[in-house]
Chain A
Amino acid sequence: MGEQKRIKILIAKPGLDGHDRGAKVVAQALKEAGMEVIYSGLHKTIDQIINIAIQEDVDVIGLSIMSGAHIPITQKLFKRLGEEGVTDKFVFVGGVIPGKDIPRLKGIGVAGVFPGGTPLAETIEFLKNIVK
């Protein structure tokens, strides 16, 4: 009763991108799917995002990126996660992501990429499968 493991997810908005409707829609959908979702708010630095992920002990970090800077942001996140010794969290990316960049993001270490237009059920299914 109330004490089993729940999937905990950080939905984060890195950098100067102020478009958070998508992040909020995804956060709401994950909440309705029974997950505990922490929303970071806008304009977070990579270090802030990692700090939140550590303190909240989340299973998954979701980055919402509409600025086109998804490659450098994601690279920096993984570099800093490595330096901080945080290796137990999955990362997924959503937002405006051109199809050609998806393999590159996965090469950096991203577990899943869900560009705008992805059915919410697909993202939910993915998260339920990776967090065991």
Chain B
Amino acid sequence: MDLVKKLLQGDEKSAARLISMVEEGRPEGFKAISLIYPHTGKAHVIGVTGAPGAGKSTLIGKLAMSFVSEGKKIGIIAVDPTSSKGGGALLGDRVRMREADKTGGIFIRSMAHRGYPGGIAKAAIGATYVLEGLGKDIIMVESVGAGQTEIQISALCDTVVTVVTSDYGDDIQLMKAGLIEIGDIVAVNKADKSGAEDTVRDISMHIGDRKQNGWKVPVVTVQSISGEGVEGLKNHLDAHFSFLRENTSGIQKKKERLKTMMLTLLKEEMWNTLMDKWSNTSEFQGIVGQLEDGKVDPYAAVHKASEMMFRT
């Protein structure tokens, strides 16, 4: 396949096209991924998650510049939400990556999540392979920042950075399941704001001596606008990547991640196949109608629909 050959020689246009093909769900796109996949597995894939406005994009831009100064080649996949009204999206993460946007050797791709669960776009998975095929050493994936349910990003990424700010809430928020527990590194951003020290202390206490597969989660402060602390964060990222390669738990984790990713994609595939088959049938519409008219409750409607779909 011509595009794959050009990609492996470092052609950005082919990379961009291949990502679009995966995004559009075109079979040629997935064939290309199968050809690219044997060339992957060496890049450090870094996920960055956190609430909207926490400073993820700005921080990624600064990290990218820091890696570039070491001669590393960087790919960035920035995922933003798709509107539930109309399916459009405004992809604005590049605006925050001004320096990186100007720097050669950094490939930034914005992506709408198109309703895929877990804070990333389905095509983000394929895009990381494409970018590694393009020769990138470090690939950073920015999640939509939806908040508490971003599990898929940890299936895709070697290292997950959770970005928080001092207005994250209180210790009850920390006790809830969510972002903090998927982070391999916690970065407290906007560290010049009052309360940042308290935040570091609270999160450190919350994490305590707990380890993620043998890795002690560091809590660091950064100021993504000025760049302060970014070097330190970068060192932790490098350390985590070495840790993963040198420890059996890291290898085991990678296996688990691949399985999680497959199951998530399979769930999506099954849903799409079933809905394509059933959603326009009168039988299915009938059940929806009964629900809308108040004749059945939502659980009963689901029960009827699944009986219909899975009867043999």
Pick the 10 closest A-B CB pairs, nearest first.
A3-B25, A41-B95, A31-B88, A57-B16, A2-B114, A34-B86, A57-B20, A38-B91, A31-B90, A34-B88
Q: Whole-angstrom distance from the CB of A80 to the nearest CB of chain B?
A: 14
Q: Which of B105-113, B211-219, B221-229, B231-239 contacts A (4 or more CB under 8 A)?
A: B105-113
In the complex, are the beta carbons of B272 and A1 less than 8 A apart?
Answer: yes
Specify the chain A residue showing the minimal Cβ separation from B29.
A3
Number of A-B contacts (CB under 8 A): 88
A48 partner, pick from B12, B102, B112, beta carbons under 8 A? B102
Specify the chain B residue showing the minimal Cβ separation from A1.
B272
Instruction: Please report B residues at the A interface, Cβ cutoff 8 Å.
Output: 12-13, 15-17, 19-20, 23-25, 82-83, 85-92, 94-95, 98, 101-102, 107-110, 112, 114-116, 122, 271-272, 275-276
Number of chain A interface residues as a range? 20 to 34
* Interface assignment of A17: CB less than 8 Å from any CB of chain B: no
Q: Which residues of B contact A101 (CB under 8 A)?
A: none
Contacts A2-B115, A32-B85, A32-B86: A56 and B101 contacting too (C-beta < 8 A)?
Answer: no
Q: Whole-angstrom distance from the CB of A74 to the nearest CB of chain B?
A: 21
Q: Which residues of B contact A67 (CB under 8 A)?
A: none
Specify the chain B residue showing the minimal Cβ separation from A2.
B114
Instruction: Jot down 25 A-B pairs with beta carbons below 8 A, ordered by A.
Output: A1-B115, A1-B271, A1-B276, A2-B122, A3-B25, A4-B25, A6-B112, A8-B20, A30-B88, A31-B83, A31-B86, A32-B85, A32-B88, A34-B86, A36-B89, A37-B88, A38-B110, A39-B92, A41-B95, A48-B101, A48-B102, A55-B108, A55-B109, A56-B91, A56-B110
